Amino acid sequence: MQRRNIIIGMSGGVDSSVAALRLLEAGHAVQGLFMQNWAEDEEGYCQAAEDFQDARAVCEILGIPLHRVDFSREYRERVFAAFLDGYRRGVTPNPDVLCNREIKFGSFLAHARRLGAEAIATGHYARSDGSGRLLRAADTGKDQTYFLHAVPREALRHAVFPLGDLLKSEVRAIAKANGLPNHDRKDSTGICFIGERPFADFLGRYLPDRHGDIVGPDGTLLGRHQGLSRYTLGQRQGLGIGGIQGQADAPWYVAGKDPGRNTLLVVQGHDHPALLHRRLLAVDPHWICNAPDAWPLRCTARTRHRQPDRPCAVMPGPDGTLEVLFDAPQRALTPGQFVVFYDGPLCLGGATIERVGGDPGASRPEATARHGAPLSA
């Protein structure tokens, strides 16, 4: 095995800690680097200082140096600005994908190379074979290739994923057996800059709420919403609808947004036809290796992290768009999120969902597609 100088991103969590341990056991020269991607705010959320202390404690046990770098300016410019812009446009963005592309495998990689690293490593659950291909992790429940699909191939060539062949339970067992103090630390969830506070309250600090109407499939006024940015497609909780005279006694779900009229469309029933679609239009595609050389592309796709793969056909559209037709209807396809393509264990790449709908014979509110513009059948 060739010994390499590797700098690993240390978050203070158990995953990056065990990843660093495995690199050492494999004989590499390892250094840690703690990234602060969000400046502490006046409310004290996103506890970077606490995370840094946890990372430092682990590095002391492992006997490796720990660097610290502040990428909060880059994060705000390249990730957070796009996050806010998505909500302004009435879509639901996914900042984790941009964070990986722009920060963890962009700014971090460049910084590590300046420090003399030959490669970088992270605690992501994924695999790479050294050629720049991205492969699923052994732990299908923790696999994070959905969030990594937009990372450039050149960056993946310099990336190592030491946890790709492990289950999460094995990672915790290794940490405990080696005396790592964070072996039972709770996994972080959500987005760093939001922390433990309510998401809607945080977003309201940057995007003032515009209250508007909640309407049913036939246009009936059912209530008032607190701002379109507070809702996502398929959402059930927090609608404040119930006991409406003349309506069936069944839960209501968000089925669409109309930013132009500032209205929220809702339907009753988890599997209402308005929530089920076979088609979507995606923009800004990124292929990790090469774009397909034959169309249509038959593959599987996810539209959410941890969602089972679904078979589909992909066709190129005008101006670099992609049209994706699933074999079976999918629930709550959401503009702003990503559709990620797979060929068995291989992650091919993905694109941003722009519009949904246009299913032959589907019954749905007019504005289920973004801005009320359905795709052709």
Q: What is the pLDDT of residues 284-301, one digit of tens each?
A: 999 999 999 999 999 999
* CA pair distance 18, 14, nearest whole angstrom: 6
Share of the chain above pLDDT 70, in %: 89
Order of strands across the sheet with 119-121? Answer: 66-70, 29-36, 5-9, 119-121, 159-160
Q: How confident is the model at residue 370 (pLDDT cuts 50, 70, 90)?
A: very low
Residue 375 in contact with residue 358, Cβ under 8 Å? yes
The better pLDDT of the pair 130, 160 is held by 160
pLDDT of residue 100 exceeding 50? yes
User: Is 186 part of a structural domain of the chain?
Assistant: no
Share of the chain above pLDDT 90, in %: 75
Q: What is the pLDDT of residue 277?
A: 96
Q: How confident is the model at residue 250 (pLDDT cuts 50, 70, 90)?
A: confident
The residue annotated as part of the active site, out of 46, 59, 99, 312, is 99
Cβ contacts of 85 within 8 Å, gap of 6 or more: 93
Q: How confident is the model at residue 49 (pLDDT cuts 50, 70, 90)?
A: confident
Last residue of a domain, one of 159, 177, 195: 177
Q: What is the pLDDT of residue 2?
A: 82
CATH of the domain at 166: 3.40.50.620
In the predicted model, what is the mean pLDDT of residues 219-233?
Answer: 92
pLDDT of residue 371 exceeding 90? no
Q: How confident is the model at residue 45 (pLDDT cuts 50, 70, 90)?
A: low
Residues 170 and 22 in one domain: yes
Reading the block at residue 49, the tokens are: 């200082």
Residue 340 in contact with residue 149, Cβ under 8 Å? yes
pLDDT of residue 311 exceeding 70? yes
- Residue ranges making up the domain that contains 355: 276-362
Q: Coil, helix or strand for 221?
A: strand
Residue 350 in contact with residue 307, Cβ under 8 Å? no
User: Is 377 part of a structural domain of the chain?
Assistant: no
Residues 262 and 301 in one domain: no
Q: How confident is the model at residue 376 (pLDDT cuts 50, 70, 90)?
A: very low
User: Is 243 part of a structural domain of the chain?
Assistant: yes
User: Is 216 part of a structural domain of the chain?
Assistant: yes
CATH of the domain at 301: 2.40.30.10
Q: What is the pLDDT of residue 121?
A: 98
pLDDT of residue 42 exceeding 80? no
In the predicted model, what is the mean pLDDT of residues 360-374?
Answer: 35
- Annotated active-site residue 192? The verdict is yes
Residues 230 and 319 in one domain: no
Q: How confident is the model at residue 247 (pLDDT cuts 50, 70, 90)?
A: low
pLDDT of residue 26 exceeding 60? yes
Domains identified in the chain, total number: 3
* Number of Cβ within a 10 Å radius of residue 117: 22
Residues 65 and 165 in one domain: yes
Rg (CA), the chain: 22
Q: What is the pLDDT of residue 220?
A: 92
User: Is 138 part of a structural domain of the chain?
Assistant: yes
The better pLDDT of the pair 361, 129 is held by 129
CA 163 distance to own-chain centroid:
19
Last residue of a domain, one of 268, 289, 317: 268
Q: How confident is the model at residue 245 (pLDDT cuts 50, 70, 90)?
A: low
User: Is 228 part of a structural domain of the chain?
Assistant: yes
pLDDT of residue 188 exceeding 80? no
Cβ contacts of 288 within 8 Å, gap of 6 or more: 132, 133, 134, 149, 151, 153, 156, 347, 348, 349
Q: What are phi and psi of 307, to 5 degrees?
A: -75, 140
* CA pair distance 234, 265, nearest whole angstrom: 11
Q: What is the pLDDT of residue 240?
A: 86
Q: What is the pLDDT of residue 374?
A: 34
CATH of the domain at 249: 2.30.30.280
Q: What is the pLDDT of residue 48?
A: 78
What is the number of residues in the chain? 377
Q: What is the pLDDT of residue 196?
A: 63
Nearest to 164 by CA among 185, 190, 144: 144
- Annotated active-site residue 299? The verdict is no
The residue annotated as part of the active site, out of 192, 299, 312, 347, is 192
Last residue of a domain, one of 268, 284, 301: 268
Q: What is the pLDDT of residue 40?
A: 63
Residue 156 in contact with residue 128, Cβ under 8 Å? yes
Q: What is the pLDDT of residue 373?
A: 32
Residues 56 and 116 in one domain: yes
User: Which residue is associated with the tokens 């410019």?
Assistant: 77
User: Is 321 part of a structural domain of the chain?
Assistant: yes
* CA pair distance 25, 30, nearest whole angstrom: 10
Residues 105 and 121 in one domain: yes
Residues 260 and 302 in one domain: no
Mean residue pLDDT of the chain comes to: 89
User: Which residue is associated with the tokens 């308005």?
Assistant: 274
Residues 168 and 69 in one domain: yes
Cβ contacts of 138 within 8 Å, gap of 6 or more: 127, 164, 165, 166, 167
Nearest to 238 by CA among 201, 195, 196, 194: 201
Q: What is the pLDDT of residue 93?
A: 93
Nearest to 257 by CA among 375, 88, 79: 88
pLDDT of residue 209 exceeding 90? no
Residues 31 and 116 in one domain: yes
* Number of Cβ within a 10 Å radius of residue 229: 26
Reading the block at residue 23, the tokens are: 């690199």
Of 105-114, 197-206, 316-325, which range is least confident? 197-206
* CA pair distance 84, 37, nearest whole angstrom: 16
* 47 residue type, one letter: Q
pLDDT, tens digit, for every residue of 134-177? 999 999 999 999 999 999 999 999 999 999 999 999 999 999 99
Confirm whether pTM is higher than 0.85: yes
Residues 339 and 355 in one domain: yes
Angle at 71 between CA 122 and CA 149, to 5 degrees: 45
pLDDT of residue 360 exceeding 50? no
Residues 341 and 251 in one domain: no
User: Is 187 part of a structural domain of the chain?
Assistant: no
Of 46-50, 84-88, 115-119, 201-205, which range is least confident? 46-50
Residues 284 and 310 in one domain: yes
Q: Taken in order 183, 184, 188, 193, is the CA torsion positive or negative? A: negative
